[in-house]
């Protein structure tokens, strides 16, 4: 099987590459910057450029595309909606059009987000696939619009929504909650973390394994691929501090009343992963994932 991973220099893409190396597959990577590793099969492509997509597909000739590339900074999307739409929606649309024309049997797996939900569910329970979507932010709206394009693809497709992804990669374009907490606490600096945003934080290695499971099992339709534990950024920060033996008193609770980020966030967006579990998805509990990461960071 030939698998093409977009966004391979990013957090999820890097872990996809790592996990795919253990499989008997031909793995092709793409991104805009330098190759994450000289031993990998990597081609640069800006996915907003149709000609670059055609070149990419004729090089990789994929049976599966996992599309993780996106503009992921939620506040930057809010400030630059046109740019966000170009990277998140247009690139997905162009990739799908090219596949439809050149590789119509390709299994297309799109990485999406819990931010497609507004965070005000009727009942306070984790969101399940098929629940009403109503993004609050430009980023969430762009991912939902991209999902709508995926649903028009005549070949096999899956949409995998993940949430608050944490971990490390050598070519990371941005930080994440784990690295932020570690950097601050190691420098003995305070860090403010929301106590009123409820999430299911996800280790990048777990979402990568889940995405490859979808590829292996030819999973189709909508899936949630998140971590198994419901946390706030604050409780997550406490677990990080305990795992690395760092001072808990530098963690400062923050609420929406204290601080409004540029882009509104859903207050409550944990994702139910029961559907993915039935396929064999078994993500690590937060503390177990952090214990494994402690050996690397």
Strand partners, 18: none
Give residues in contact with ligand NAP (CB under 6 A). 7, 9-13, 31-33, 46-48, 68-72, 87, 91, 111, 113, 143, 162-165, 172-174
Query: Shortest Cβ distance from residue 152 to ligand NAP (Å)?
Result: 18
Shortest reach from residue 188's CB to ligand NAP, in Å: 26
CB of 111 to ligand NAP, least distance (A): 4
Q: Least distance (Å) from ligand NAP to the CB of residue 165? A: 4
Q: For residue 82, what are the contacts with CB-CB under 8 A and spacing of at least 6?
A: none
Nearest to 69 by CA among 4, 1, 154: 4
Which residue in the shown chain puts its C-beta closest to ligand NAP?
A: 10
Cβ nearer to ligand NAP, comparing 46 with 63: 46
- Distance between start and end Cα atoms, the chain: 33
CB nearer ligand NAP, residue 32 or residue 180: 32
Q: Which is nearer to ligand NAP, 63 or 175 (CB)?
A: 175
Q: Which helix (H) or strand (E) holds 146?
A: helix 138-151
Q: Quote the least distance from Cβ 245 to ligand NAP, whole Å.
A: 25
Residue 2, helix vs strand vs coil: strand
216's CB contacts (< 8 A; 6+ apart) are 23
| Torsion, Cα of 238, 241, 242, 247 (10° steps) | -110
Three-state secondary-structure class, residue 88: helix
Of residues 163 and 185, the one with the C-beta less far from ligand NAP:
163
Q: Closer to ligand NAP by CB, 105 or 230: give it.
A: 230
């Amino acid at each position: 099987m030939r698998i093409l991973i977009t966004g391979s220099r990013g957090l999820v893409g890097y872990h996809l590459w790592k996990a795919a190396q253990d499989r008997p597959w031909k793995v092709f990577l793409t991104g805009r910057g330098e190759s994450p590793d000289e031993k990998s099969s990597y081609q640069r492509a800006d996915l907003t450029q149709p000609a670059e997509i055609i070149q990419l597909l004729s090089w990789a000739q994929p049976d599966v595309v996992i599309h993780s590339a996106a503009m992921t900074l939620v506040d930057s999307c809010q400030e630059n909606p046109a740019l966000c739409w170009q990277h998140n929606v247009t690139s997905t649309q162009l990739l799908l059009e090219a596949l439809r024309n050149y590789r119509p049997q390709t299994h297309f797996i799109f990485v999406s987000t819990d931010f497609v939900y507004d965070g005000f569910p009727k009942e306070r329970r984790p969101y399940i696939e098929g629940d009403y979507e109503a993004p609050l932010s430009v980023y969430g709206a762009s991912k939902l619009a991209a999902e709508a394009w995926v649903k028009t693809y005549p070949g096999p497709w899956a949409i995998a929504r993940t949430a608050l992804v944490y971990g490390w990669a050598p070519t990371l374009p941005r930080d994440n909650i784990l690295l932020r907490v570690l950097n601050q606490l190691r420098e003995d600096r305070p860090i403010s973390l929301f106590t009123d945003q409820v999430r299911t934080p996800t280790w990048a290695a777990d979402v990568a394994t889940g995405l490859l499971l979808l590829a292996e099992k030819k999973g189709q339709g909508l899936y949630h691929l998140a971590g198994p534990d419901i946390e706030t950024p604050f409780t997550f920060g406490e677990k990080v501090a305990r795992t690395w033996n760092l001072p808990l008193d530098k963690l400062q609770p923050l609420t929406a009343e204290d601080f409004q980020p540029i882009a509104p966030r859903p207050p409550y967006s944990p994702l139910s992963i029961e559907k993915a579990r039935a396929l064999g998805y078994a993500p690590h509990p937060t503390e177990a994932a952090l214990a494994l990461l402690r050996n690397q960071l």
